[in-house]
Amino acid sequence: MLLTILYIIGITAEAMTGALAAGRKHMDWFGVMLVASATAIGGGTVRDILLGHYPLGWVENPHYLMITCVAGVITTCMAGWVAKNHKFFVSMDALGLIVFSIIGCRVGMDMGLPAFICVVSGLVTGVFGGLLRDLICRRPPMVLHKELYASVSFLAGWMYWAMMHYGINELIATVSTLVVGFCFRMAAARFGWSLPVFRFDAEPENSH
C-alpha cells in the first residue's frame, strides 16, 4: 500500500523528467508521451521481459500507462515551473530510484530467484528507464557517466534482500531501505561521489 503510493509518485516524477528530455529534442506530443512512459515504466518493463514475468504491470493495470502519458503532456504546459523546481525533482527521482529498486527486488524474490538476480532485478527496474530515455533522445546515457546512481540501487537492493531474507518485518525493511537509500543518493548528488571512470583512448578499434 505504502509502496503503491510511492510507486505512483515515482512514475509521475520520472515521466515529467522524461517529458523535459523530449522537449529538448523538440518532439511532438506523441514523442513526449512515449519518452515519458519509457522513462517511468520502461525499467519495470525490461525487468519483466528479462524475467519472463507476464503480464507486464501496465498491461494488467493500464492506469499506470495513462498516468505517465498525462503527466508527460501536463509537463509541456508547466515546463518552466518544473525546471525552476529542479531540486524537488532530483529528490523525487531519488525516491523513485529506491522504490523501483525495492519493487524489482521483490519481484525476483517472489519468483524464487537467486539473491544476485533479485538485486539485478531491482537495479534494472531502477536504472533502465533512464537508459531508454537517453537512447530514444539520442544523448549519452547519464547513468553510465555520472555520480553514484546504479550503485545506490544495487546497495539498496542488497539491503532490502538481506533484511527480508533474515526475517525482518516487511514494513521496517521497506522504510529503512527507503531512508538509507534516499540519503545515500542525495549525498552522492550533493557531494559528487562517483565510481572510478575508465578512460581508454588508444586508436579506434578496427575489428571485432
> Interface residues for its own copies in 163-192 (CB under 8 A)?
189
Site pattern 68..97 for its own copies (x: CB under 8 A): --------x--x---x------x--xx--x
Confirm or reject binding of residue 197 to its own copies (CB under 8 A). yes
In a 3-state reduction of DSSP, which class is residue 193? coil
Nearer CB in complex with its own copies: 126/160: 126
Size of the site for its own copies (CB under 8 A): 71
Is residue 170 within 8 Å of residue 83, measured between CB atoms? Answer: no
Confirm or reject binding of residue 65 to its own copies (CB under 8 A). yes
Determine the Cα–Cα distance for residues 67 and 129; give it in Å rounded to an integer: 16
Which residue from 4, 44, 110, 138 is in contact with its own copies, where contact means CB under 8 A? 138
Which DSSP state fits 117?
H
Which residue from 4, 5, 30, 183 is in contact with its own copies, where contact means CB under 8 A? 30
Confirm or reject binding of residue 24 to its own copies (CB under 8 A). yes
For residue 197, give the nearest of 130, 125, 134, 148 by alpha carbon.
148
Determine the Cα–Cα distance for residues 85 and 74; give it in Å rounded to an integer: 15
Q: Shortest Cβ distance from residue 75 to its own copies (Å)?
A: 8
Type and span of the H or E element at 3: helix 2-24
Site pattern 147..166 for its own copies (x: CB under 8 A): x-xxx---------------
Is residue 125 within 8 Å of residue 44, measured between CB atoms? Answer: yes
